[in-house]
Amino acid sequence: MTKARPDFKRMLLKLPHSRQDYAAVTLIAELAELFGVDLVGTYVDDVSPHGLAELPNAREFRGGTWRPLSPDQLVQDVAIAAREAARLFLENAGRGRSRLFFSSSAGAASREAGIEDIIAVIEPMSAIERATHQFAESLQAAFRSTSSVLLVPGHAKPRSGPIIAITSGPDDPGLAAALTLASSSRERLILIRSQPTLSWSAVLERAKLAGVTTSVAEAVFDGGNILLPAFAKGRLLIMTRELVGQRPASQTPILFVSSALSSRVDG
């Protein structure tokens, strides 16, 4: 059977600083495996130790007392944190995977992400961390790129359930991604049209050719918000990046697929 698959090549993940958010890494690794792409995990501390230590009156609380910041000690602390991030990354993502890569260099994190990449962003469980400039900048940088963006709540864990796709038609790259994932995971696909005038016939025909069990549902598009039906809960929600301003209120991980992504045909 001939199938069109999204031409993803890598999934790029900036690893979280909080240990409690690593549950999401297992889910991200599972999705990378289902899409058949490399997973690159990078740990980068965004603070310059030397620049921080040069700030007037900069102090740290260590060993029960306040003391001047030591650049050398901070460098050592970052190295220790990077080693722990590598351990947690391999522990949570390495089960059964052969294409895992870890880096602690800023260059690996900042190299240009392209149309064929997926940038995975973990939303911290802590409300304080979600409010930080560091997280906001990571999220904004992902959406400034040309890549697809995977947004995963920090508490999310792998689970079974249908794949949900909001589609604009049979040529929607988000639909290709949803069909690929539903086929790889052997899950049912729930289709929601992005416009009430969209005909289902060509979309359902494509799903049939992909051998995916499919059902349809309707959503409410209200003032930039998407209200999904109560039963539309699943493993992953997929839509194109054009709909990012209409992100639904959902605890389900969401993949925003680049509209420029091409597909390859597998026989």
pLDDT value at position 125?
79
Which residues have CB under 8 Å from 50's CB, separation 6+?
71
Neighbours of 56 (CB within 10 A): 4
CATH placement of domain 163-266: 3.40.50.620
Q: Where are the alpha helices (DSSP H) in the chain?
A: 23-35, 49-53, 71-93, 106-110, 127-130, 133-144, 173-185, 201-209
- 10-residue block means of pLDDT along the chain (267 residues)? 71 86 90 91 65 57 62 72 84 72 59 86 82 81 91 86 92 93 93 87 92 88 74 85 69 89 64
pLDDT 10s digits, 113-127: 889 999 999 988 777
3-state secondary structure of 153: strand
The domains spanning 3-45+78-153 and 163-266 adopt the same CATH topology: yes
Give the integer Cα–Cα distance in Å for 145 and 166: 22
pLDDT 10s digits, 238-256: 999 887 666 666 678 999 9
Extents of the domains making up the chain? 3-45+78-153, 163-266
Give pTM, 2 decimals: 0.82
CATH match of 3-45+78-153 with 1.20.1050.40: no
